[in-house]
C-alpha cells in the first residue's frame, strides 16, 4: 500500500494569543520505530518558508527552527506512536497565519498542507471626548486594535448615520494588528448620545461603544 499522510482538518481559525494544535496522520503499521521517523512542519507565507519544527530519527532539530517559533512550537511526542504528528503552537501571533506543510518520512514519504487563519476581535474600544480649543465643538474619539481591518461606523441614538463626518485612520502595530482611531467632531447637543461601531466584515462581528 502507498504511504499516505492525511489531515483530519484542513483549516484552523484561531484567536490571536490563543493556542492551536494542528494534526496530520500517518500509517505506523505496528509499533513505531522512532529512529526511522522524520517529521517536518514548515510555514509558507507570502512566498517565504519558515521551519517551524523538525524531528529527524526521533530527535528534535532546534538549530534549524526559525526564531519566530522558538519556545512556542513543539510536536507532541506521546501522539507519534499512534501515527499522529501534532504541531502545538502557543500564544498564536498574526504572522503565524499561512499555509503549513506537514511532511512525514517513515518507510515512505508524503506531505499535506494545512491552513491557519488568525483573527483578533476588536474587543476593547477606548473612548474619550475632548473640547476643541477656541471652538464651540467637541471631538469624540474611538480607538481599538484588532485584525483584519475593520470599518468604523458612527450613529446617534436615532440611528442616524454620522460616518461621513468622521475621520478614521489606522497604523499597523509591531504585532501585526490594526490600531484604528476614528474621530467625530460635533457641536454639543446635551440630549444626544453617540456611538461608534467597529465592524469586522471578515469575522462577521461588531463591537460598539
Q: Where are the domains of the chain?
A: 11-119, 126-208
Architecture per CATH, domain 11-119, reads as: Sandwich (2.60)
Give the count of alpha carbons within 13 A of 17, CB side only: 7
**Span 121-144, mean pLDDT?**
88
C-alpha to C-alpha distance for 109 and 193, rounded to whole angstroms: 64
Ramachandran angles phi, psi of 17, nearest 5°: 75, 5
Same fold, 11-119 and 126-208: yes
Condensed to tens digits (0 to 9), the pLDDT of residues 109-119 reads 999 999 999 99
For 69, the grid coordinates are: 517559533
Q: Work out the widest C-alpha separation in the chain, in whole angstroms.
A: 82
**Position 44 confidence tier, pLDDT thresholds 50, 70, 90:** very high
Condensed to tens digits (0 to 9), the pLDDT of residues 45-61 reads 988 999 999 999 888 88
Architecture per CATH, domain 126-208, reads as: Sandwich (2.60)
β pairing state of 98-105 and 151-156: unpaired
Closest C-alpha among 80, 51, 75, 72 to residue 63? 51
Between 135 and 99, where is the model more confident? Answer: 99
**All residues at 6 or more sequence positions from 18 whose CB lies less than 8 Å from its CB, including other chains:** 91, 92
Amino acid at each position: 500500500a502507498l504511504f499516505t499522510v492525511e489531515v483530519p482538518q484542513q483549516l484552523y481559525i484561531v484567536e490571536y494569543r490563543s493556542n492551536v494544535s494542528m494534526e496530520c496522520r500517518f500509517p505506523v503499521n505496528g509499533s513505531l520505530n522512532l529512529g526511522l521517523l522524520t517529521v517536518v512542519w514548515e510555514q509558507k507565507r507570502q512566498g517565504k518558508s519558515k521551519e517551524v519544527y523538525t524531528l529527524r530519527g526521533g530527535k528534535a532539530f532546534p538549530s534549524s527552527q526559525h526564531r519566530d517559533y522558538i519556545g512556542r512550537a513543539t510536536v507532541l511526542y506521546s501522539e507519534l506512536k499512534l501515527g499522529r504528528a501534532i504541531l502545538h503552537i502557543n500564544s498564536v501571533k498574526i504572522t503565524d497565519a499561512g499555509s503549513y506543510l506537514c511532511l512525514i518520512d517513515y518507510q515512505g514519504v508524503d506531505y499535506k498542507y494545512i491552513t491557519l487563519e488568525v483573527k483578533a476581535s476588536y474587543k476593547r474600544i477606548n473612548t474619550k471626548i475632548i473640547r476643541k480649543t477656541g471652538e464651540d465643538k467637541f471631538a469624540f474619539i474611538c480607538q481599538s486594535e484588532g485584525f483584519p481591518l475593520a470599518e468604523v461606523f458612527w450613529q446617534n441614538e436615532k440611528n442616524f448615520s454620522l460616518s461621513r463626518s468622521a475621520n478614521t485612520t489606522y497604523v499597523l502595530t509591531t504585532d501585526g494588528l490594526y490600531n484604528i482611531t476614528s474621530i467625530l467632531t460635533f457641536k454639543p447637543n446635551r440630549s444626544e448620545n453617540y456611538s461608534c461601531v467597529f465592524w469586522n466584515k471578515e469575522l462577521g462581528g461588531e463591537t460598539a461603544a
